Structure 1
Amino acid sequence: MDTGPLLLMVVAAALVFAFTNGFHDTANAVATSVVTGALRPYAAVGLSAALNFAGAFLSLKVAATVAGGIVDSGVITLPVVFAGLMGGLLWNLVTWYLGMPSSSSHALVGGLVGAAFVAVGASAVKGVGVASLVLLPALLSPVAAMLVAGAGSRVVRRVTRGVPAGVRERGFRVGQIGSASLVSLAHGTNDAQKTMGVIMLALVTGGAAGAGEDPAGWVVVSSAAAMAAGTFVGGWRIVRTVGRRLVRIGSMEGFAAQSGSAALILVASDSGFPLSTTQVCCGSVVGAGMRRGASKVRWRVVAGVAGVWLMTLPGAAVLGALMWWGSQWVGGMQGVGLMFLLVLMAGFWLYVAADRRPVNASNVNAERAGHRMKWEEEGV
């Protein structure tokens, strides 16, 4: 198989994944600021997209981790990288349609691991790297985010206790603009690099780059631009879940949640951890919302989201394996092209069928008013 066209297709698939990463993870940066009215919907996604793009240029440590710390670039092939991308991409599309804030990072890693495992064997997967760089942070990051955001909301409330309510509310809304900007910047620093890492993995596998090289300028720019474009589209289905369904929060809790999320993600990016920004941001929202009492959290929704998190790695791994088997069954470039076409068609159908209306403070409040009796019966 000619590696030139295949390499181009793998790069294209990686950029499509980055686009879905952007609109899948829009909620991480904008959910709390939109539902509290601190930012209008399109202003929020525009600001987030610009800072996602800028954040991609701050560090390359996560890209190096993804390129060399998950699977062995010396034994895998371009069809394996492609199948892994397709597995992660398909998981992103399905969970976005369901409105579930799953981890794009874990979907990508799971897809790569599943495809590499069935194509080459267990020797292609760096088990220690997956455990230390993916699984351990996945277990610790939501808990850490809950603790940091919960503590932050209590400190902020205590510090501002003597401030008039109107002044305090306006101040927190302004503060949310700053904290949302930090989350967007941090998200770009961590998540855009995952696409860079996969593209570099493909370039090394295809012989177009050497192992250990930093991503070229075009890799950085294209990855950042693809994710920023996806962010601007706005994944409103997941914004509803993060901003409204987990727990009802005000501007103070939103400010604390976003500030805590940004701090944790930036620390992880500087350390080279491909952290799940989704898990951090959801954990922060729950932690900040618990200031009003644990009974205010919709624990059934939280449990459902956590269940999707647990299924993401194995689920995306199965999809990555199926994508590899499917492309091999057809054979050659035709197999790769067919799998790409099928996934794109599935994504287009899901996008057309989905409810894509922007979320804002007014329609959230209307929905809350219409469902207040039901929520009270559920103990929310």
Structure 2
Amino acid sequence: MLDYILVGAGLSGIAVAEKLIDSGKNIRVFENHSQSSSTVAGGIYNPVILKRFTLAWEADEQLKTAIPFYRSLEKKLKTSLISEMPVYRKFHSVEEQNNWFAAMDKPSVAAFLSPNLISQINPNIPSDFSFGMVKNTGVINTELLLDAYRKYLKELDVFITEDFQYDMLQLKNDQFNYKGFQSKRIIFCDGFGMARNPFFNKLPLNGNKGEYLIIKSEALKLEVAVKSSIFILPLGKDLYKIGATYNNKDKTPEPTEDAREYLLEKLRTLITCDFEVVGQVAGIRPATADRKPLVGEHSEYKGMFCCNGFGSRGVLIGPTVARKLIDFIENGTPIPSDINIRRYAKKC
């Protein structure tokens, strides 16, 4: 008898699995690697929305949970996952500079914005209106995290690589039965795969396709993240991630030529040095209309839960939301109404 079956081992699934393992629960995790949004995620943790200079939803509190969570995983997995790195916002006008300083009047935002503008951060990234630095930011190596944590689950003999066949899941005597496994509860952390999940596919999960380029430039020599109309993220060894696109219509997993040309056009207006494209990746972000996660228990099937809808901020949101879900299941602590799927009561 298992305590939990988990479906999905992306950022959501890892956060949930780690909370359960730390609590001594007996789990099995099913993952078929079909959803790549966590793999291709930028990995930047940044609490500030740099288009409007406002704090992202509960980002300051999420940051307090996320960083210790990833630090603990670094120790457990014996690998480096966090790179502290400032993010520099390139200004395009005096108005943007003024908006930056106006945002600093809000104490919650001011803690993350430097009051000192910088005229140049790199000779290959010119700006007529300087740069603003966002503090307490960095990067989670999501690709390394996923690989290392799945290896850890395999070592625990709780990881199963296969398509989850929803029609084979049965509920009998308040227990879930799936291919010989019996469990008290099941949690779906299946990302955009929820669109095929018959138990939760009526929830308003809107796939948002994101594409990134990987470039190589020996001349750029950039060691910080830069945000303009796109972002540049150093990867080391003269490699940089360039992104990202946001496409609400295309739900195909393959990279596209349109996205490539869009990112190249933006990049050429941002940097002045030579580069070559060495890769392109794409993934469907599990986004919601109100930009809040989808967390909670199915209205009909007791013991069945979902933890989804993290959008483009999964590295920040995941640890906090996973904790709130498990606290609800194990301790009866109410799930906040703004993330509870009960806000869509007629859908599930």
Shorter chain as normaliser: what TM range?
under 0.3
Q: Which has the higher contact order (CA 8 A, sep 6+)?
A: 1
TM-score using structure 2 length: 0.26
Comparing both structures, which one devotes a greater share of its residues to helix?
1
Comparing both structures, which one devotes a greater share of its residues to strand?
2
TM-score using structure 1 length: 0.24
